[in-house]
Every structure is written in C-alpha cells, then in structure tokens.
C-alpha cells in the first residue's frame, strides 16, 4: 500500500480563545492547508493587519469565527499550488488576496480563486498586502454606498491609515475635492502626498472650525468616518444638504441628535465589505486593478512587524498615536 505523503508544517498564528492581543499564539507545527477545488495555496510574503481583525479577536464583533482560527485576510505572495478547476492562476504567480479561507497570519494560506488577484511587478509584496480590504472598502464607501460624483467634496477622517489613504487616492483620481484629517504632522504630510487637497490635525481643538472655513457654508458632501463613536455628532454639523456620512469604523456608542439629519436631509450609511455581492466585489476589483495600472493606486506601507511580534501589531493598530500607512506582517 502506498504511504500517504507526509503533510508539511508551517508557522502560523492561532487564536484558541477570544481576548486581548496576548491570545495570539505563534505556533510552528501547524499543518500546511491543502487547496480544494476552486482554491489556491499561497506562500505568504506579507499580510496586512486591519483594525477589524482586533475586534474579531476580542470577541466583540458581530462575526465570530469558530475557534481555533488564524486571523488575516490581505496576503501577498506567490502561488504554491492550485486546486482542481483553477485556470486563472498557476504555481509561481505573484498575487494578492481580498480574503483567505485558512487565515493570513501564516507562512501559507488557502484562498478562494475568485478572491485572489494578480499582483503587478511594479508593486512589492508589502504593498500587495496593503491593497485588499483597504482599497475595496474605500471604493465601496465612496461609490457603491456613498454615490460619490466628480466635483463633490469628501472629508476622510483618519486619512493616514490604510482605508483613509486608499480613500484619498481613489477620490482624487475620480475628480473629488479631498480633505483629510490625521493626528500628527507626519500623517498630514502623508495624506497631502496621497491625494488630499488639504489636511487638518484632528488633535487641534479648533479643527472642525477650520474644516468649516475651508468648505464654506455649503458644507462637505461625503464624510468617510473611521471613528464614528467619537466624530459622528460633529460630522452631522459639517455636511452639505443631502450630504452623507459613511460609517467605516466604530469602537463604541455615541449620542446624536437625529434632527441634525432632518435640517439637511443628510444620511448616515453603514459600510461593510463582508456584505458586498459578487458583482460589487468584481466592480471593486476592476477599479483597483485599473488604478494600479494607471499608476495612481500606490499603497503606502507603514509599520512592519515579523510574525513573532503580532501581539504588538494588534496593540499598536488600536493604541498608536497616529497612523502613516498600512500596517503589515512580514514573513
């Protein structure tokens, strides 16, 4: 009887219980997953770290994976093998993903072939790991949910993080007037280099007044909001008539006066990439790949961590004083 080939093992981060960053356990004896039909196995070179992964890990998020699990959805790497029926990719192709099946904080990850995209040579793996969730989320917030049009104005709150920089680049390329906020001088410089016409420091006590002075009595058409539990009440004061706040991020509750929406017929719209249809994802992917080709989509990589420092990465993405680009794990 032929012996079954022994499956090789890899290093991967595992979560056995929900909790703080300390529940992220790096293990060196995790079996390398095998791609099923319509799946691919990727040798991971870099994996993006997103705030949502910290919410899921803490157990406070609406979507709870079955334990134990490996976090991570945005990987960039090289195709190692493909499952049956996969024709779009072959061993050796450079790719990035929007999500994974087995988890991205690992040396190898399995992903559905329709969530994997070619990574052009002009971008490195670190940049590839900064595309998926941030750019698809920003495109969805601006166009699929926010109905942005050329000539409108957009305020990106927390513009120096992954989603924020993606929103600045996309909005600028599509003809919007782009305002951004950041928490540091460095962050403000980063957003000005990446599409914002004007930058504001959200630590300045008068920054809302400065934004109002900039937009004039008309207000701002769209606000991309990463921290709605802090800013939503003030956002409603900044909007134009028929303006809309796109809620991309939230870390708690907030009290607002609904009358503020009546006076301008403004809207508060939630954004969740998880709810995108196949068609919507395809539209996002087309826009993103076109942007890379045209040259305006240039992911900015911020802090980089080895896999051993994953707990520190989770701590820093929530607690650090100011983002400047996308946080990535390097393998």
Sequential pLDDT tens for the chain (331 residues): 555 556 799 999 999 999 999 999 999 999 999 999 999 999 999 999 999 999 999 999 888 999 999 999 999 999 999 999 999 999 999 999 999 999 999 999 999 999 999 999 999 999 999 999 999 999 999 999 999 999 999 999 999 999 999 999 999 999 999 999 999 999 999 999 999 999 999 999 999 999 999 999 999 999 999 999 999 999 999 999 999 999 999 989 999 999 999 999 999 999 999 999 999 999 999 999 999 999 999 999 999 999 999 999 999 998 876 778 999 999 9
Residue 251 tokens read as 């870390």
- Tell me how far apart the alpha carbons of residues 173 and 162 are, in angstroms, rounded to a whole number: 17
Q: Where are the domains of the chain?
A: 9-130+299-330, 134-274
Q: By the 8 A CB rule, do 173 and 143 touch?
A: no
Q: Which CATH class is domain 134-274?
A: alpha beta
Domain 9-130+299-330 belongs to what topology? Answer: Quinone Oxidoreductase; Chain A, domain 1 (3.90.180)
Calpha distance 184→299 (Å, rounded): 19
Residue where the block lists tokens 């790991």: 129
∠ at Cα 181 (295, 138), nearest 5°? 45
33, 89, 201, 267 from 184: Cα distances, Å: 42, 42, 7, 30
Question: Is 41 within 8 Å of 17 (Cβ atoms)?
Answer: no
Closest by Cα among 214, 215, 182, 213 to 199: 182
Closest CA to 135 of 176, 167, 173: 167
Contact 132, 96 (CB under 8 A): yes
pTM over 0.85? The answer is: yes
CB 45 within 8 A of CB 125: yes
> Crossing angle for the helix pair 278-294 and 132-139, nearest 10 degrees?
110
* Pair 44, 22: CB distance under 8 Å: no
């Amino acid at each position: 009887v032929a012996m079954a080939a022994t499956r090789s093992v890899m290093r991967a981060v595992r979560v056995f219980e929900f909790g703080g960053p300390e529940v992220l356990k790096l293990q060196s004896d995790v079996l390398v997953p095998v791609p099923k039909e319509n799946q691919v196995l990727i040798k991971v070179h870099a994996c993006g770290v997103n705030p949502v992964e910290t919410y899921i890990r803490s157990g406070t998020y609406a979507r709870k994976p079955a334990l134990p699990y490996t976090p991570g959805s945005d990987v960039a790497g090289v195709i190692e093998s493909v499952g049956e029926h996969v024709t779009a990719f072959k061993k050796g192709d450079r790719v990035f993903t929007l999500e994974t099946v087995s988890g991205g904080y690992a040396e190898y990850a399995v992903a559905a072939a329709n969530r994997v995209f070619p990574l052009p040579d002009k971008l490195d793996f670190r940049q590839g790991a900064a595309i998926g969730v941030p750019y698809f989320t920003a495109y969805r917030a601006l166009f699929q949910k926010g109905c942005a049009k050329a000539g409108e104005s957009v305020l990106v709150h927390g513009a120096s993080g992954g989603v924020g920089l993606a929103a600045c680049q996309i909005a600028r390329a599509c003809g919007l007037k782009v305002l951004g906020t950041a928490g540091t001088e460095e962050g403000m410089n980063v957003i000005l280099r990446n599409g914002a016409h004007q930058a504001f420091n959200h630590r300045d006590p008068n920054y809302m007044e400065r934004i109002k002075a900039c937009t004039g009595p008309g207000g701002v058409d769209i606000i991309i909001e990463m921290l709605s539990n802090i800013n939503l009440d003030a956002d409603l004061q900044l909007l134009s008539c028929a303006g809309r706040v796109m809620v991309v991020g939230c870390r708690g509750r907030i009290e607002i006066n609904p009358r503020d929406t009546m006076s301008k017929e403004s809207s508060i719209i939630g954004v969740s990439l998880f709810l995108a249809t196949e068609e919507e994802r395809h539209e996002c992917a087309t826009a993103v790949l076109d942007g890379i080709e045209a040259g305006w989509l240039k992911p900015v990589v911020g802090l980089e961590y080895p896999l051993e420092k994953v707990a520190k990465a989770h701590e820093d993405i929530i607690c650090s004083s100011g983002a400047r680009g996308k946080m990535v794990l390097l393998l």
